[in-house]
Each structure stands twice: as C-alpha cells, then as structure tokens.
Amino acid sequence: MAPVARSRKPAPRQPSGTRDARKQPVSAEAVTEAAADALAPALYLVATPIGNARDITLRALAVLNAVEAIACEDSRVTARLLAIHAIRKPLVPCHDHNERTVAAQLAARIKAGAAIAFVSDAGTPLISDPGFRLVQACIESGVTVVPIPGPSAVMAALSVAGLPCERFFFAGFLPPRQAARLKAIEALATLPATLVVMEAPHRLAAALADLAHVLGARPAALTRELTKLFEEVRRGTLAELAAAVAAGPPPKGEVTLVIGSADAAATAPNQAAIDRMLAEALVGTSPRAAATAVALALGLPRRPLYARAIALHRGSAAPEEGDD
C-alpha cells in the first residue's frame, strides 16, 4: 500500500505592514512620539539650519515637537522654520536685550517641571548668538541643560576652506571700529591655529584689508551664504581676497572667514619663490598648465597664479628677486 502523502500547512501570513518590522526604517513621527514620552524637564539647546531648512536633525524636530515652549532669538525667524516643519509651539523671545530677565523666568519654569527648548536664528545657540545668560541661569538653578547638536557656520566653513582643521581658534566677530579691530587682529597673530572669524558684509572689505595688513600673506577662505542658494567659497591670500572684495559690489549674506595659522604663514613661499617655480614650469608648457602645476604643489588658488604665469610668459614681468 502506497504511503499517504501528508500535506503541509502553509506558514501563516503576517498582517500587511508587519512583515520584517525590524528592518523597517524608523519614521520621524515615531521618533517624535518616543521623545514626547521620554522628554524630561530640562533646557534643550537645539541647533537650527544656517540656511537650508532641511538641514535639521530628526532629534531636533522631535524635541521641538515635544517641549512645552520654545525660547528663541527672533520669534519671526523661528515661526517660519516651525511652519516649514508643521510644528506649533508657544514662542518666548529671548535675545540680547531681555535675556537676563527672561532667563530667570525660564529657569524657574523648568525647575517646576517644564521642558523648554532654546534656538537662535541660525546654527548652534551661544556661538556668536544669545543664550549664555540663559544657560548660566539654568546651571545656577540646578536645571539640566541638554545639547541637541546640528548645523554650525563655523564647522561648515572649516570643512570647505581647504586649511588644517586639527587646531582652530574661533574669534567671533571682529570689532567694528578700525583701531579696536587692528588691536584684536594683533592679538590673534601669533596663535598656532587656523583662525575663524565672522564679519558683517558691509565691513568685510575693511576687515580683510586690516587682516592682510597685520597677518601678511596668509592663505584664507571667504565663505558666504553657506547651504543657501547663492553659496560661495573664495580662496586665496588675505591680500587677494581683500582686493577682490574691494573691487566688486558689497557682498550680501552671512560671511565666515577661515585664515591660515601663524605656522602656515611662516612656511608659505614668497612671491619671488612662486615666480621661479612658475618660470621653471613654463619651460615647454602653457601658462595654464604651469599655473595648475604650481597651484597643486603649493596648495594655492590657480587663478592668480594663472594671471602671473601669463605675464611671465609674455615677458611683461620678470621673475622677482629675493630670498626664499
């Protein structure tokens, strides 16, 4: 008698939407709900975009959704950002003119059990922005302060400058008046670190001229409107950047300067050495190729080297004499 074949029952199907749940990405809504359930009373320092509104972390959105209120530098700026991400929360203005008073009030609310976020208009709070008095008041009141990291104009500028980032000094905004500005630059001159400076567009030409006067032929990068539609990065020596800005219309938008260290300036070749390298590279090749080769060798921008190479090639400028 032939054996009876036994039928196997098919494995039960998982309901739609539950299959391989462990492999599904966590949604922003889920992150927000989890944060709302777990958010403890504290001051949350939330970094916001420096330009592109999408440059905000899931954690930042979750915290902004979950807090009781949001303290902000400018309620109009913050309201626009929150509207983009469909977040509705009470806003408490907290800026340079009222921070001392508001800080005590917010610290008391948090101590009573509230979770409060603080945002500046752009980037990480306290970095050339308000927030120090608020943080100080919370610490003195025994209130927990929690960083919610994210965008920073300083970090963005350093990353694209093409200068060493292992050691840098953030100098913030230079003084608006020339005498004080020159004194501040002189204090920075001997630091063995890459310098990061912020500047207002209407003072940029004067600031670059003063920087070039005090610091000499240091390599630098001028970054403007980072992450925005008209993002721009210019590289060159301080003198070259100063001349370019002075020759054109006043720039618009946020400006961050990254400047080579005192060590970099000490090892930078002078114009005579650069001319000799260009003259040697011009033997048997074009000015464009010579400028490219020297730019790569020295880590300098190619455009000014190209102009100099053309002048040398045409014989309108002899190589400068001088020591290396």
Q: Dump pLDDT digits (tens) for 34-50.
A: 554 579 999 999 999 99
In-domain check, residue 17: no
Residues 134 and 227 in one domain: no
Residues 37 and 86 in one domain: yes
Checking if the pLDDT of 240 tops 60, the result is: yes
Closest CA to 119 of 159, 80, 156: 80
Please report, for residues 77, 100, 122, 157, the alpha-carbon distance to residue 133 in angstroms, rounded to integers and kept in the order given: 21, 6, 18, 27
Structural domain count of the chain: 3
In-domain check, residue 306: yes
Closest CA to 322 of 275, 268, 264: 275
In-domain check, residue 42: yes
Residues 221 and 296 in one domain: no
pTM, entire model: 0.72
Residues 207 and 290 in one domain: no
Residues 82 and 131 in one domain: yes
226-230, 246-250, 312-316: least confidently modelled range: 312-316
Residues 124 and 162 in one domain: no
Q: Find the mean pLDDT for residues 177-203.
A: 95
Instruction: Give the CATH number of the domain where residue 125 resides.
Output: 3.40.1010.10
Q: Determine what percent of the chain is predicted with pLDDT higher than 90.
A: 67
Residues 137 and 206 in one domain: no
Parallel, antiparallel, or unpaired: how do β-strands 219-224 and 232-237 relate?
antiparallel
Instruction: Give the CATH number of the domain where residue 160 resides.
Output: 3.30.950.10
pLDDT confidence of residue 269: 64
Domain encompassing residue 163: 154-266
Chosen domain end from 130, 151, 172: 151
Chosen domain end from 113, 136, 151: 151
In-domain check, residue 12: no
In-domain check, residue 20: no
Residues 240 and 161 in one domain: yes
Q: Find the mean pLDDT for residues 78-104.
A: 96
Residues 40 and 128 in one domain: yes
Higher-pLDDT residue of 285 and 142 is 142
Residues 100 and 174 in one domain: no
Please report, for residues 3, 26, 100, 120, 185, the alpha-carbon distance to residue 137 in angstroms, rounded to integers and kept in the order given: 84, 36, 8, 17, 32
Higher-pLDDT residue of 11 and 139 is 139
Residues 167 and 103 in one domain: no
Q: pLDDT category, 29, cuts 50, 70, 90?
A: low
Chosen domain end from 151, 170, 193: 151
pLDDT in tens, 248-290: 888 898 899 999 998 765 555 667 778 888 988 898 889 999 8
In-domain check, residue 319: no
In-domain check, residue 158: yes
217 near 225, Cβ under 8 Å?
A: no
Q: Determine what percent of the chain is predicted with pLDDT higher than 70.
A: 82
Cα(49)–Cα(8) distance, rounded to whole angstroms?
58
Checking if the pLDDT of 16 tops 50, the result is: no
Q: Find the mean pLDDT for residues 192-198.
A: 96
Residues 188 and 199 in one domain: yes
In-domain check, residue 9: no
Average pLDDT score over the chain: 86
